[in-house]
Amino acid sequence: MAGDTFTITDGYRRTEEAFREACIAAGRGLGEVKLIAVSKTFPAEAVREAYGLGQRLFGENRAQELTEKQPVLPKDIEWHFIGRLQRNKVKYIIDKAAMIHSVDSAALAREISRQALLKQVEASVLIEVNLDGEETKAGFGAEGLRQGLEEIAALPGVHVLGLMTIGQYHEDPEGSRALFRRMRALRDEAASWAVPGADIRYLSMGMSHDFEAAIAEGADYVRVGTAIFGGR
Ligand SMILES: *Cc1c(COP(=O)(O)O)cnc(C)c1O
């Protein structure tokens, strides 16, 4: 890319092509893996440009940004909330996000349940898992997952559909593979618990630098920002 300027159109096309190739290499049917374009910090105009190229799933990590962009953009956009969600912000996004990827505590899930009942919606959520045990990252460890899942899945108005993780940044994207593989094994194990009310199917993992490895290891949702929209 030396010398030329970044455009969203180029970023999107390159990402889409790499995404498609990774799906084919992994033997995943098109449409089986979902590409979420992470538009955080970028204006509605940027979303509109990617939308014009055919993108329909977008990810935001701040309640305020989502509530600002959602009303001015096409109604068939599917918004995914991917960032740390403060409990007092749940009410702003509960009826705007198609899926909340980042449920990192039972307390947050209880507020999601409360707001879902108030707004009469069903909240689709993923449970955030932190297998690295990094203090700076939110989420359930492997040990606490089952109990958390049982508690969250029992809440009315909350539909648990799988697990999400934010990997560590590795210079070499292959470095993320071991974590992705452990996530897949954990998803399969969690599904085997057959927790009442939970429907453990999806894995949300992989970002700009490692989404191909995530697809190879079984991701159902990849969350790609920088590669599509440029640096933040
Ligand atoms: C920002 C963000 C992404 C996208 O990261 P990029 O490296 O820009 O692709 C994915 N997931 C989460 C939770 C994020 O906050």
Q: Is the pLDDT of residue 83 over 80?
A: yes
- The answer to whether 228 and 12 have CB atoms below 8 angstroms apart is yes
Cα(37) to centroid of ligand 1, in Å?
9
Q: How far is the CA of 85 from the centre of ligand 1 (A)?
A: 15
Q: Across residues 178-196, what is the average pLDDT?
A: 97
- Distance set, CA 170 to CA 135, 173, 174, 212 (Å): 18, 6, 8, 14
pLDDT band at 33 (very low <50, low <70, confident <90, very high): very high
Give the Cα separation of 156 and 109 in Å (integer).
Answer: 10
Q: What is the pLDDT of residue 214?
A: 97
E-only strand ranges, the chain: 34-38, 57-60, 78-81, 99-103, 123-128, 158-164, 198-204, 221-224
pLDDT on residue 2: 52
pLDDT at 169 over 90: no
- 35 in ligand 1 pocket by Cβ < 6 Å? no
**Ramachandran region, residue 139 (left: φ > 0; alpha: ψ -120 to 50; beta: rest):** left
pLDDT at 184: 98
What pLDDT does residue 170 have? Answer: 79
Question: Distance between CA atoms of 26 and 41, rounded to whole angstroms?
Answer: 32
The residue type found at 163 is L
CA R_g for the chain = 17
pLDDT averaged over every residue in the chain: 95
Average pLDDT over residues 120-144: 91
| Residue nearest atom 6 in ligand 1 by C-alpha distance | 225
Q: How confident is the model at residue 168 (pLDDT cuts 50, 70, 90)?
A: confident
Rounded to whole angstroms, the Cα distance separating 93 from 144 reads 27
Rounded average pLDDT over 199-221: 97
pLDDT at position 1 over 60: no
Q: Give percent above pLDDT 70 in the chain.
A: 98
The closest-lying atom of ligand 1 relative to the alpha carbon of residue 232 is 8
Residue 190 predicted with pLDDT over 80? yes
The reported pLDDT for the residue numbered 133 is 74
Rounded to the nearest 10°, the torsion over CA 219, 67, 74, 108 is 30
Q: How far does residue 224's CA lie from ligand 1's centre (Å)?
A: 6
Q: Is residue 133 a contact partner of residue 179, using CB atoms and an 8 Å limit?
A: no
CA distances from 1 to 4, 37, 169, 232 (A): 6, 21, 22, 17
What mean pLDDT is predicted for residues 143-163?
A: 97
Q: Is the pLDDT of residue 4 over 90?
A: no
Supply the pLDDT for residue 135: 75
Which residue has better confidence, 174 or 93?
A: 93
Contacts of 18 (CB under 8 A, 6+ apart): 211, 212, 227
From the CA of 118, how far away is ligand 1's center (Å)?
30
The reply to whether ligand 1 has any atom less than 6 angstroms from the CB of 101 is no
Percent share of the chain, pLDDT over 90: 89
Q: Return the exposure string of 205-217: e unless at least 16 CB atoms fall within 10 Å of the residue's CB, then b.
A: bbbbbbbbbbbbb
For 213, phi then psi, to 5°, come to -65, -40
Ligand 1 pocket test, candidate residues 38, 39, 103, most atoms within 8 A of CB? 38
Report whether 186 contacts 131 (CB < 8 A).
yes
Instruction: Identify the residue whose C-alpha is closest to ligand 1 atom 10.
Output: 223
For residue 25, which of 217, 171, 203 has the smallest C-alpha distance? Answer: 217
pLDDT for 197 equals 94
- What's the pLDDT score for residue 3? 53
Identify the band that residue 167 occupies on the pLDDT scale cut at 50, 70 and 90: confident
Q: How confident is the model at residue 30 (pLDDT cuts 50, 70, 90)?
A: confident
Please work out whether the CB of residue 208 comes within 6 Å of at least one atom of ligand 1.
yes
pLDDT by residue (tens digit) across 97-111?
999 999 999 999 999
